[in-house]
Chain A
Amino acid sequence: MLTSPSVAPAREVTRTPDRARRRTLVLLGLVAALAATVLASLALGVRDIDPAVVWDALTGWATGAPLPDDQDHRVVVEQRLPRTVVGMAAGAALALAGTLVQGVTRNPIADPGLLGLNAGASLAIVISSVILGVSSPLGFIWFAFAGAAAAALLVFSIGAGRPVRLALVGATVTALLTPLITITLIQSSTAFNLYRTWAVGSLAGVRSAALADLWPFLVAGAVLTAAMAHRMNMLALGDDVATALGQRVGTTRVLSGIAIVMLSGTATALVGPIALIGLAVPHAARRLVGTDYRWITAVAFLLGPVVLLVADVVGRVVMPHSELEAGVVAAAIGAPVLIAVARSRSLAGV
């Protein structure tokens, strides 16, 4: 045991109250932002609906009352609610997966796409539609998930947990699969149309039924991410230090890989490859709460849904009588965040 006379101010030394308060404020602010975003997602669109009506529709739906014959109520409950729920789930999943990928590879520019997940999901969708004739999103979601998992498995097994090798193998797998996708798409115009709507990254037309099937993966992935958060803190000090501190680094990598596939595979299958959320949200979280992955993870979990829903809502309102896909808007929002991070000195702070 080490003891010293300076035991009394110990708490002050290790936990500055200012910083703790700031982190709590950030979390509270994000909860408020998420609530506002959800409301906006339910109220805004081609048809703007009064928040009071939104509330009526929600409470009516929640209490199980029969849906009144009112167009606004129907839009809220049947279209926007499922879309919002899917957006929240996918946003959180993409942000958590991005946090894990960056932590486990110690690579600040890593995102799930770097590990070949998007390419794997794309190829699986294309093949399922061309060869097996799958034509509905509900049908190809499982193929997308399997494709993402297969690609990740390949990349992790060859990359063997070495950060640089992982990135190289991920890029190679992506480079290898992409021409295959193109070649297959050129053969079939129906497959191309199907792929096009998915690949741009959109919340429009998503079916909550798909989420009803896939939600256990999201919950398991999120729980696993929470369990990995403190391990990431040690991993950030280097494999040797993490090992010397008593961590089984290989186990951390394998469990994180499983969580990444579950989260990112599901999100990608649901809403398409929306890259910049997984890349930008962890960086923004780091700016807000510092280097502790327990806080970064909590912030990413709230910030991911906010960003994806904002992107979706903005896409709905910027073009009259039409929509801009969330993937496009997310890119427009995420890019400036990344540029701001790159210009500051905290880029390497992974």
Chain B
Amino acid sequence: MTARPEPAEVRTEDALAPVGVVGPTPGASPTLRAEGVVLGYDGRTVIDGLDLALPAGRITAIVGPNACGKSTLLRGMARLHPLSGGRVLLGDRDVSAMSRRELARSVGMLPQSSIAPDGVRVAELVARGRYPHQGWFGRHSSDDDAVVASALAATGVADLADRPVQDLSGGQRQRVWIAMVLAQQTGIVLLDEPTTFLDVRHQLDLLDLLTSLNRERGTTVAMVLHELNLAARYADHLVVMNSGRIVAEGDPGEVLTSDVVHGAFDLASDVVPDPVSGTPLVVPRGRFHVAG
């Protein structure tokens, strides 16, 4: 991934508050790994024995056609969906042997279905990310306040701290949710389709933000994405899935070929270098519009 453009890098580093020396160094957080996991719904198996390791300190994107099991896999790794078989390891520990609270201090997860209660304010919502670090009545410490302020600043929503979440735009709201996950202070952050309801500019914004967090804090990021070209551009590690299996994984430049796209999506395409980033750019063919 040497082809990243210089200007983008400079811009994101400018936009972020500097991180103190106490931030985790890349690769410091343990690796989250699925081993032979079996996942399904009501007896219907979706994933039957899958292995996946999320490289520590890197950005992983999982892509694949609808209903290929990519969200289910991510949910299984976050313990939001019960495993019917196999195990998920954090470092060398089986996560099913950890308490939920303990896991929540190491692995953050932003699911697709999140509800912002009407009237809740930005800072209030972000502060709820401190839950796994608090006692039973959720008493705030000055430490909590500092972490929340830092999360608000890092996601660029500090100015909105006192605004009701429902008054924000979709892009702002998604930043607030990410701030909440940041306030959880986990070395690993999983996101289930974080860009889905955003327009293209806000998709880029959000992926730039996640890239900054990854580079500046060494956070391991893994996300399910729909947009192949953005996934190829932003991921260090690309996982292509189909029918509950991994079709290909690795460096996007090597993984994303027209054969793989055809295998996963049953779609004919040309893959050309992205003129901006040099990463693979998938140009789908379809039945019409074929020149010469």
A residues lining the B interface (CB < 8 Å): 1-7, 9-11, 13-16, 106, 226-227, 229-230, 233-234, 236-238, 240-241, 243-248, 286, 290-292, 294, 345-350
Given known contacts A3-B20, A14-B123, A236 and B117 CB-to-CB distance under 8 angstroms? yes
Q: How far is the CA of A247 from the CA of B111 in the complex (A)?
A: 15
Determine whether the beta carbon of A236 is less than 8 Å from that of B115.
yes
In the complex with contacts A3-B19, A106-B115, A241-B111, A13-B148 CB distance below 8 A: yes
Name the CB-closest residue of A to B109. A244
Besides A237-B114, A248-B100, 18 more A-B contacts (Cβ < 8 Å) are: A1-B22, A2-B147, A2-B185, A3-B23, A3-B150, A4-B19, A7-B149, A7-B150, A11-B142, A13-B161, A14-B145, A106-B115, A226-B137, A227-B136, A233-B131, A243-B80, A245-B131, A291-B124
Contact of A10 among B99, B136, B142, B184 (CB under 8 A): B142
Q: List 19 A-B contacts (CB under 8 A).
A: A1-B22, A1-B185, A6-B153, A14-B127, A229-B137, A234-B131, A237-B115, A238-B115, A240-B80, A240-B111, A244-B104, A244-B109, A244-B111, A247-B131, A290-B119, A290-B120, A291-B119, A294-B137, A349-B120
CB pair B150 A245 closer than 8 Å: no
Mask, B112-141, CB within 8 Å of A = 1, is 111111111101110111011010111010
- The reply to whether the CB of B15 lies closer than 8 angstroms to some CB of chain A is no
Interface check B152, CB cutoff 8 A: yes
Contacts of A13 in B (CB 8 A): 123, 145, 148-149, 152, 158, 161
A346 touches B114 (CB 8 A): no
Q: Is B93 an interface residue (CB 8 A)?
A: no
- B 75-128 contacts with A by CB, 8 A: 75, 78-80, 99-105, 108-121, 123-125, 127-128
B145 touches A10 (CB 8 A): yes
* Nearest CB of chain B from residue A222's CB, rounded to whole Å: 14
Does B151 make an interface contact (CB < 8 A)? yes
A6 and B104 contact, CB distance less than 8 A? no
B119 with A346: CB separation less than 8 A: yes
Residues of A within 8 A of B114 (CB): 237-238, 240-241
Indicate if the CB atoms of A9 and B149 lie closer than 8 Å: yes
On chain A, the residues within 8 Å of B23 by CB distance are 1-3
Cβ of A294: which chain B residues have Cβ within 8 Å of it?
Answer: 137-138
The answer, yes or no, to whether B286 is at the interface (CB within 8 Å) is no
**Given A2-B185, A4-B18, A4-B19, A246-B104 contact (CB < 8 Å):** yes
Instruction: Please give the distance in Å from A324's CB to the nearest CB on chain B.
Output: 35
B130 to chain A, nearest CB (A): 9
List chain B positions with a Cβ less than 8 A from chain A: 17-20, 22-23, 75, 78-80, 99-105, 108-121, 123-125, 127-129, 131-132, 134, 136-138, 140, 142, 144-154, 158, 161-162, 182, 184-185, 217
- Whether A7 touches B146, Cβ cut-off 8 Å, given contacts A2-B217, A244-B80, A248-B100, is yes
Q: How far is the CA of A13 from the CA of B134 in the complex (A)?
A: 19
Q: Is the CB of B137 within 8 A of A4?
A: no
| Nearest chain A CB to B173 CB, angstrom units | 13
* B115 partner residues in chain A, CB cutoff 8 A: 106, 236-238, 241
A247 in contact with B149 (CB, 8 Å): no
Expressed in whole angstroms, the minimum distance between the Cβ of A295 and any Cβ of chain B is 11
- Determine which residue in B75, B99, B136 has the highest number of CB atoms from chain A within 10 A of its CB, and name it: B136
Give the 3 A-B CB pairs with smallest separation, nearest first. A246-B104, A349-B118, A240-B111
Task: Give the contacting residue for A2; candidates B117, B136, B137, B150; CB below 8 A.
Answer: B150
A241 to B116 CA separation, bound complex (whole angstroms) = 10
Contact A3 B22 (CB under 8 A): yes
* Contact between chains at A233 and B138 (CB < 8 Å): yes
Query: B146 CB to closest chain A CB, in angstroms?
Result: 5
Q: A14-B161, A244-B80 are in contact. Are A4 and B154 (CB under 8 A)?
A: yes
Residues of A within 8 A of B151 (CB): 2
CA distance A345 to B79 in the complex (A): 35
Residue of A nearest to B186 (CB): A244
Which residue of A has the minimal Cβ distance to B78? A244
Docked Cα-Cα span, A16 to B141, in Å, equals: 15
Task: Pick the residue among B18, B110, B117, B124 that contacts A5 (CB under 8 A).
Answer: B18
Chain A residues with CB under 8 A of B105? 246
- CA distance in complex: A14, B147 (Å): 10
Enumerate chain A residues within 8 angstroms of B99, measured Cβ to Cβ.
246
Given the interface pairs A10-B142, A244-B108, A292-B124, the reply to whether A230 lies near B136 with Cβ below 8 Å is yes
Q: In the complex, A234→B100 CA distance in Å? A: 14
A246 to B103, Cβ gap below 8 A?
Answer: yes
